[in-house]
Structure 1
C-alpha cells in the first residue's frame, strides 16, 4: 500500500497528478517514471472496466505511482473492489452533502463496519497481511477525494468537510460552473472555489482542483489549493504532438 500520498496531502504538500483515460499499462508506467505524485483513472468519462483496472493497478504499484479512480454513479458499491485491487484511493463525483460523504467513507474504511473484509486480494498481499493488519493499513492509507461539483453543495461545505477521514475537497470546475450557470473562468466560479478552499482549511483537510495546464498551478497554490489534477494522458499526448507538428511546419 502507498502510505506516502495521504501523509503528504495531510501535511499540506502540493501534489500533482493527471487523469488517465487510456487503459494501457505503459501509460501508467510512463507517468510513474515521469515523477507524477499520483494519477486518477477516469472511469467516469472513459471506457475502462474492472479487468483493465486490475492491470493498471498492477502497473502503478510496479512504477511506484499512487493510483486512484473516479467513476460515475449514485452508489458506492464500486469503491471497495477497486481498493481491493490495490488502488490508493478514489475520487468521488458530485458529493453534494454530508450524507453522501458519509456513505463514501463507509464504503472505503473498514472501521465504519460496512466494507467487506478479506485479505485475499492484492491489497492484502494475497493473504500475506493479517486481517487486522490489512484493515488498519487500508484505513490509514486510502485517500478520499470528494468532488464539489454542484451549486447545492456550496452552503453545505462545512458539513461535508467535517466528515471524518475525508482527505480532499476537490473542485470539478466544469461541472460546478455548469451547475452555477456561470462561465468557466468567471469571477463567480473563482469565488466558489475560494469558498471550498476556506471550508477545507476550517476542517483541516486539503483543497483540490482540476486545471487544464501547469501554468494554473502557482496562482491557485497562492489561493490555498494543494492538490492538482492537470489535464489527462490524452491531453498531454495531443499537446506534445501538436507542438511537434507546429514546429515542423514552421
Structure 2
C-alpha cells in the first residue's frame, strides 16, 4: 500500500472496502486490522451521530484505515464537520447532474472558497498546522465520491465526470435499478453500469460499485471498475455467524 486513498484511487489501484453501520469505534478498529483499503461509515442507512463519528474517526486513524461518510439529505452542510474530524472524504448519494456535483466539490475543496476554514479540529492537528499548510493538505487528500443511482443522472454522466475535483463516480445498483424500474440484478442494470464505466473511462475518472459478494469483483474489475464496497460490518457478521451455525449443526 503506497500513498493516500485519493492518490490510490486516481492511480487506478484495485481498492476494497466495506460499509460500517454499527456506531462504535471497535468495528472501525477491527476492519482496519484485517487490512481493508478504506471503509464508508453509512450515516444514510444507520443511526450514527456526529459524536459517534468523532470516536470512529479517531479509531480509523489509530489503525490507518481511511474513512469516508455518506448520509442522507440534499444539502451539503454535513460535509465539512466530518472532514474536520479527519475523515478521508465523502460519498454523496443521489447526485443527479453537474450542479449537484459542483455543490459537493464546493463543500470539500477549500480552493473553491466556500468551505469554512479553521485548522483547529483533528484534521488540522488541533491547530498544529498553519492555515496554508492545512488548506493544501486537505485539498490534496480529501476524496470526493458522487453516487450515480438515479436514471436521470445517466443523461448527465459526461458533465459530472468533467469536473476536475470529482475523484470517483460510485454506482449504487439497488437504487439505480429501482429508479430504472428494472430487476436487481438484470441485463438492463448491467447495461447502465457499463454506460457509467464508459463515461468514466472517457473522462479519466475512477468508477466504484457496491457488491454484496466478493465473488462479483473480478468480473466488474475486468470491465474497468477499480473500487468496490463489499457488504457491511453487519453483513459480514451475519454471514460469519450463519456459517458458524450451519457448520456446528452439520
Unmatched 5+ residue regions in structure 1? none
**Structure 1 residue aligned with 2:105:** 105
Per-residue CA deviations over 1:165-200 (Å, capped at 9, x if unaligned) read 101100000000000000001111000000111111
Once residues 128 and 3 of structure 1 are traced to their aligned partners in structure 2, the CA distance between those partners, rounded to angstroms, is: 22
TM alignment of 1:30-45, pairs within 5 A:
30-45=30-45
Contact 1:3 1:141 in 2 (8 A): no
Once residues 75 and 3 of structure 1 are traced to their aligned partners in structure 2, the CA distance between those partners, rounded to angstroms, is: 31
Once residues 3 and 153 of structure 1 are traced to their aligned partners in structure 2, the CA distance between those partners, rounded to angstroms, is: 31
Unmatched 5+ residue regions in structure 2? none
Per-residue CA deviations over 1:188-216 (Å, capped at 9, x if unaligned) read 10000001111111111100000001101
**Structure 2 residue aligned with 1:48:** 48
How large is the RMSD of aligned CA atoms in angstroms?
Answer: 0.9
TM alignment of 1:65-104, pairs within 5 A:
65-104=65-104
Contact 1:197 1:225 in 2 (8 A): yes
How far off is 1:163 after superposition? 1.2
Aligned partner of residue 117 in structure 1, secondary structure:
coil
**Scaled by the length of structure 1, what TM-score is found?**
0.99
Contact 1:154 1:196 in 2 (8 A): yes
Once residues 12 and 109 of structure 1 are traced to their aligned partners in structure 2, the CA distance between those partners, rounded to angstroms, is: 22
**Structure 2 residue aligned with 1:130:** 130
Once residues 180 and 114 of structure 1 are traced to their aligned partners in structure 2, the CA distance between those partners, rounded to angstroms, is: 34
How far off is 1:3 after superposition? 5.4
Aligned partner of residue 23 in structure 1, secondary structure:
coil
**Structure 2 residue aligned with 1:227:** 227
TM alignment of 1:228-243, pairs within 5 A:
228-243=228-243
Alignment coverage as a number of residue pairs? 249
**Scaled by the length of structure 2, what TM-score is found?**
0.99
User: Which stretches of structure 1, 4 residues or more, deviate above 6 A after TM superposition?
Assistant: none
**Structure 2 residue aligned with 1:15:** 15
**Structure 1 residue aligned with 2:167:** 167
Aligned partner of residue 19 in structure 1, secondary structure:
strand
Once residues 213 and 35 of structure 1 are traced to their aligned partners in structure 2, the CA distance between those partners, rounded to angstroms, is: 17
